[in-house]
Structure 1
Amino acid sequence: MPTENKPNAPLQVERSTVTKLVISGAPNLDPITVFLEDLAPCKGKITVSCWDKSWTAYWGGMWDGLSIGQFFCELNTSYIIGYFDQAMKSRQFSGEAIANKAQRIVLKERRLFCYDQDEARELFDEAEDLRDSPSIDHLHGAHGELMTKLFGGEWWRLTNDSTEPNPDYIYLERIILAVQQALRQEQHQEAE
């Protein structure tokens, strides 16, 4: 049950030590701001900001004897990205890839005489329109008939390889690598 605050009652304030780093000079990245907070043994929090985006992670079970900065350097980027943004995937749907796949199928079917020249030309041109599709859901609504004709009744199951690298994932991965490099550099300088 929440405690009631009296109008003039003093607020409880805790003070902690936070390390702030500003990292610049990383190739093709804006300056990166990092806040590191060691909260207790084996517990730490990190916030990473670059341009207009920020990511935060808290670990309540870090390895003994490591600061949050040291712990962060020991982790691989995909694990960190999972903490920063659970929904982010390394690959994303690609209208470009699905259009290329559809056109290859049309050409293959034409060579096997499944389509005459005019029908193949029409399907090939329709497949070109798939390039602008932002998602599987869009394909269902806008191009479902074409997709069924080319790929069969459960065509959405065959689109797993119609992806491309996710630029947001690559961007965050580059930021994490720059932060790890800067933290290692800091740790090396402190050790000297």
Structure 2
Amino acid sequence: MIAYIKGILTYIQDESIIVDIQGVGYEIMCASPFVFQDALNKEIKVNTYHHVREDLQVLYGFKNEDEKYLFTKLISVSGIGPKGALGVMASVDVAEFVAAVEREDEKFLTSFPGVGKKTARQIILDLKGKLTSMLSLSSQEAFHPSGSEAIGEGLQEAKEALKTLGYTEREIKAVMSKLQTETDSNTDEIIRKALGLLMKN
């Protein structure tokens, strides 16, 4: 299996990045390819999961081991494939997702595309208690189930509000990644800060 790819980031596309290794371009599917924007034309190391089927081989890429681990656990859940797992990871960070699973927040989990109540219950059944021990120290420091519910809901509501204002999924992801550590759970405040970031772009 290919555990990671190290080379020059040459292209960033809507769903993938291309990493050049000695003249060979490896296409790596990512939840949010544009998080690698700062590394364009530079050498990077991308943690990868090598997905193999009889008729298909795909490399999925992640910024760190936590994201990769979460991806592998998600695709182990009945009803969730690689594309579904990427869809979940495109709009949530690891600690936020783990917090939702630990508090059995079905409403939060069903907010992701393709995740219905049955799948949300399956995620909780299969993954509760199995994710927190694998988080890195930095993620564990950010993982506070008692407070993350309000923060998570505030971020989610802000995302939906920005969509109704006409911003694209890519634009929203770009600013939300900068607001993941936002401690103010007030949705209006998060929206105001997000709009400020969007106007700068």
Q: Normalised by the size of structure 2, how large is the TM-score?
A: 0.21
| Larger relative contact order, structure 1 or 2 (CA cutoff 8 Å, min sep 6) | 1
Q: State the structure with more CA Rg.
A: 1
Q: Normalised by the size of structure 1, how large is the TM-score?
A: 0.22
